[in-house]
């Protein structure tokens, strides 16, 4: 009996203790902006006082604090129980309490030529349109990259010929494993790492998986950093010499600041991606603001939809906006599902991914003489071999080409299985759902990928003869039309937080981009891949994001007085919606893509440097926008500004595009354009309306006589007497033109 009582007593005592340890997790407590009256030490003491108010002891409060955000963002990250977090959330000074989910994940020669940035022709120079030269290649612009770190030895980060570090720079070069102060230079002017959130969930960083330092063990961070601002490196190529040429970032003379907040997931292959804890990412953004970056580039996304006050990138980038820092983010790789976007805050530039006019061709020649177009980046070649469909029985597969369909498992693993069974080649075929989307993988065997139509043709041939044969041709870089085209994986609208804001904003190259790579990683990032390369071809909206970051740095260099919204407007209103065949940009299905896929279109850096007019938005405008979506939020974020008694519609944020989520009757949209072009100009309004929509505009002509002059106009949208189009979104555009500048904006309307 005594034993039983003792056992029950142990259970009763241990259960609360166990629950307490399980329930503790990291929360971010956000207070909005600093009032500018406290020192950094005083700010940290204030944060400790809040913890003391909910903790049982001063020691517990002190040990629970992970980060105190002190530069621009006012808040802290700490280990709390749900009850403690709830108590803090009820305090009037607290804007929001955000549970950390570790939800952010990393999302990459020819691309810069494709968008016209490397066109240094005599005519362009004479006209003053050479953006790189005018911007001095981004000289002294500072791009902060929040990612998995950097491989500093890469030639892309050489500082040869660069001036001393700008005196305005306040950052540091944080030392750690395999990284010391000598790895920073006049190119990489700062490097930090953030691991407290990761450590709280996963424990210490495994030295066999990652470096406890700003050094990149993955490749993703090195790739994105060099895409944005890598130096020009001749004879750069991926494994096997594929895509040989000059590798360069968009702003090759800009400075680079590294903020490592993404880490290898313990026990998982690198190919599964990194994990980036909310509190680590927010600490990185806060330091970047304090260090003095001009551009923030975040190729990160998340898998869940959060309101703006629960989204740490939205929060951090809003504070960056208060310092006129441009924030560029990837749209996410959740496509082709609708409403799959990441990073939808209106003060960030959200970038989708598209393909360029170069593909890596590796066709299949069938025994009947028919050639099927295939694509590959496999460095291995082969001679003519038989191809017979069967299971991967070594007796049947040995010495043959195997046709496999895309499905469960990694594409590279399929090639591994073929090689294990003695096969000499792989034709990786799309299923019907994938259509003709192009997938590239660095296989360990001669391999090529074919679209669904090509796969059907190959199967028909196989079944038509007793002895089918085939040959896979070596990879060749070839010109491709139509381009650009939208990547199937690129996330799509509509905006799931505020349907009035059209996202993504723009699209840029994000398919098979050649850039620098970590030599601690491999081309596939798979554990059994022991190959190493200095440059790698990689795909994703992670790759399209730094393209825009680099160009944003060039635009800031050319127009140092422009606001962040003017830079965004210039990029959006000059974007192209047609491909190199002058047809509408296609989606991965071959059908015309919509603004929910490409935003305003494919970015055109040269034209963005001279947009004519811009849609400007001040920081206060963004704060007032918060009133329209959450009136109680603004006063907590910035106590100096109050919401007006009469709340405006979120439609009237001066955005270069708009969405009407439900058009039941007339809706009036107001916009203001500002002249940024020298001299007098006369602009006329035009539009392209979708079926089921009518419009009234006033005025339809704007005459400017000096730079900085602004005019407002209204557009009243109402349903037309056409009931054939219902229960769907329809898309159109409107444009101001003076004969030289085409200032074009897309819009979307849902017809109920």
The 10 Å Cβ neighbour count of residue 382 is 16
Query: Tokens 């805050």 belong to which residue?
Result: 345
Please give the full DSSP string across 9-46, using - where no structure is assigned: HHHHHHHHHHHHHHH-EEEEEEEEE--S-S-HHHHHHH
SS (H, E, C) 359-403: EEECCEEECCCCEECCECCCCCCCCCEEECCCCCCHHHHCCEEEE
The active-site residue, picked from 154, 361, 376, 542, is 542
Tell me which residue has tokens 């020009």: 232
Q: At what angle do helices 619-629 and 312-322 cross, to 10 degrees?
A: 140
Collapse the DSSP code of 75 into the 3-class scheme (helix H, G, I; strand E, B; otherwise coil) and give the result: strand
Which candidate, 153, 194, 188, places its Cα nearest to that of 173? 188
Q: Do 360 and 512 meet the contact criterion of CB atoms below 8 Å apart?
A: yes
CB 146 within 8 A of CB 282: no
Q: Which residues contact 591 (CB under 8 A, 6 or more apart)?
A: none
651 Cβ partners below 8 Å, 6+ apart?
500, 658, 660, 667, 669
657 is catalytic: no
Which of 48, 183, 220, 602 is catalytic? The answer is: 220
Closest residue by Cα to residue 376 from 428, 453, 431? 428
DSSP string computed for 549-580? HHHHHHHHHH-TT--HHHHHHHHHHT-B-B-T
- Does residue 514 contact residue 537 with C-beta atoms inside 8 Å? yes
d(CA 287, CA 230): 22
What is the DSSP secondary structure assignment for residue 679, as one 8-state letter? S
Catalytic residue among 130, 147, 441, 616: 147
| Lookup result for tokens 């441009």 | 326
Calpha distance 180→214 (Å, rounded): 9
Give 493's contacts (C-beta < 8 A, 6+ positions apart). Answer: 338, 339, 341, 502, 503, 504, 595, 596, 597, 659, 748
Rounded CA-CA distance 541/349 in Å is 12
542 counts as catalytic: yes
> Token digits for 640?
């100096």
- Count of other CB atoms within 10 angstroms of residue 304: 9
220 catalytic? Reply is yes
Residue 526 token pair: 């798979």
Q: Any idea which residues carry the catalytic annotation?
A: 147, 220, 542
């Amino acid at each position: 009996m005594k034993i039983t009582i003792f056992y029950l007593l142990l259970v009763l005592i241990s259960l609360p203790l166990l629950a307490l340890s399980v329930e503790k997790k990291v929360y971010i407590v956000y207070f909005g902006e600093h009032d500018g009256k406290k020192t950094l030490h005083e700010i940290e003491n204030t944060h400790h006082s809040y913890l003391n108010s909910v903790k049982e002891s001063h020691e517990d409060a002190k040990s629970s604090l992970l980060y105190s955000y002190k530069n621009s963002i006012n808040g802290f990250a700490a280990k709390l129980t749900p009850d403690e977090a709830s108590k803090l959330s009820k305090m009037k000074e607290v804007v929001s309490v955000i549970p950390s989910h570790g939800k952010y994940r990393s999302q990459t020669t020819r691309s810069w030529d494709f968008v016209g940035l490397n066109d240094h022709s005599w005519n362009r120079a004479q006209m003053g349109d050479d953006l790189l030269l005018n911007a001095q290649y981004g000289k002294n612009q500072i791009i902060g990259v929040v990612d998995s770190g950097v491989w500093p030895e890469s030639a892309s980060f050489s500082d040869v010929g660069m001036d001393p570090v700008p005196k305005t720079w306040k950052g540091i070069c944080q030392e750690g494993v395999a990284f010391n102060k000598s790895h920073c230079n006049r190119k990489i002017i700062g490097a930090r790492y953030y691991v407290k959130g990761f450590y709280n969930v996963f424990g210490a960083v495994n030295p066999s998986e990652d470096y406890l330092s700003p050094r990149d063990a993955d490749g993703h961070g090195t790739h994105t950093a060099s895409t944005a601002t890598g130096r020009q490196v001749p004879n750069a190529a991926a494994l096997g010499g594929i895509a040989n040429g000059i590798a360069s970032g968009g702003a090759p003379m800009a400075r680079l600041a590294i903020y490592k907040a993404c880490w290898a997931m313990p026990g998982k292959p690198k190919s599964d991606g990194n994990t980036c804890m909310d509190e680590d990412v927010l600490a990185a953004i806060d330091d970047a603001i304090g260090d003095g970056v001009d551009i923030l580039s975040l190729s990160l996304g998340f898998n869940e939809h959060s309101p703006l006050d629960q989204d740490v990138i939205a929060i951090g980038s809003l504070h960056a906006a208060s310092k006129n820092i441009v924030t560029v983010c990837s749209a996410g790789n959740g496509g082709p599902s609708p409403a799959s976007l990441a990073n939808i805050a209106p003060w960030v530039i959200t970038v989708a991914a598209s393909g360029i006019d170069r593909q890596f061709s590796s066709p299949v020649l069938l025994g009947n003489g028919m050639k099927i177009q295939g694509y590959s980046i496999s460095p291995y070649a082969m001679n003519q071999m038989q191809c017979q469909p069967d299971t991967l029985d070594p007796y049947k597969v040995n010495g043959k080409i195997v046709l496999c369909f895309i499905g469960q498992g990694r594409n590279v693993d399929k090639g591994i299985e073929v090689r294990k069974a003695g096969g000499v080649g792989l034709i990786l075929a799309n299923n019907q759902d994938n259509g003709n989307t192009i997938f590239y993988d660095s296989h360990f065997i001669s391999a090529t990928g074919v679209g669904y139509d090509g796969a059907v043709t190959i199967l028909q041939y196989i079944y038509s003869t007793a002895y089918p044969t085939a040959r896979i041709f070596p990879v060749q870089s070839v010109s491709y039309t139509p381009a650009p085209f939208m990547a199937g994986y690129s996330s799509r609208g509509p905006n799931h937080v505020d349907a009035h804001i059209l996202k993504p904003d723009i699209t840029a190259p994000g398919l098979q981009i050649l850039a620098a790579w970590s030599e601690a990683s491999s081309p596939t990032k798979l554990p059994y891949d022991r190959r190493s390369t200095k440059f790698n071809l990689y795909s994703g909206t992670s790759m399209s994001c730094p393209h825009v970051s680099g160009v944003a740095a060039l635009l800031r260099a050319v127009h140092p007085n422009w606001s962040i919204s003017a830079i965004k407007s210039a990029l959006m209103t000059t974007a192209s919606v047609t491909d190199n065949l002058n047809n509408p940009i296609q989606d991965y299905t071959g059908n015309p893509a919509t603004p929910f896929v490409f935003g305003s279109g494919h970015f055109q850096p040269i034209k963005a440097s001279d947009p004519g007019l811009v849609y400007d938005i001040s920081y206060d405008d963004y704060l007032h926008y918060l009133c329209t979506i959450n009136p109680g939020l603004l006063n907590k974020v910035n106590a100096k500004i109050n919401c007006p008694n009469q709340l405006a519609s979120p439609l009237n944020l001066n955005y270069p595009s708009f969405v009407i989520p439900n058009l039941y009757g007339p809706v009036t949209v107001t916009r203001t354009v500002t002249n940024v072009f020298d001299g007098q100009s006369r602009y006329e309004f035009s539009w392209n309306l979708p079926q089921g929509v009518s419009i009234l505009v006033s005025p339809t002509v704007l005459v400017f006589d000096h730079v900085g002059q602004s005019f407002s106009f209204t557009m009243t949208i109402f349903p037309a007497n056409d009931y054939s189009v219902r229960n769907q979104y329809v898309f159109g555009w409107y444009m101001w033109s003076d004969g030289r500048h085409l200032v074009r904006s897309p819009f979307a309307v849902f017809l109920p």
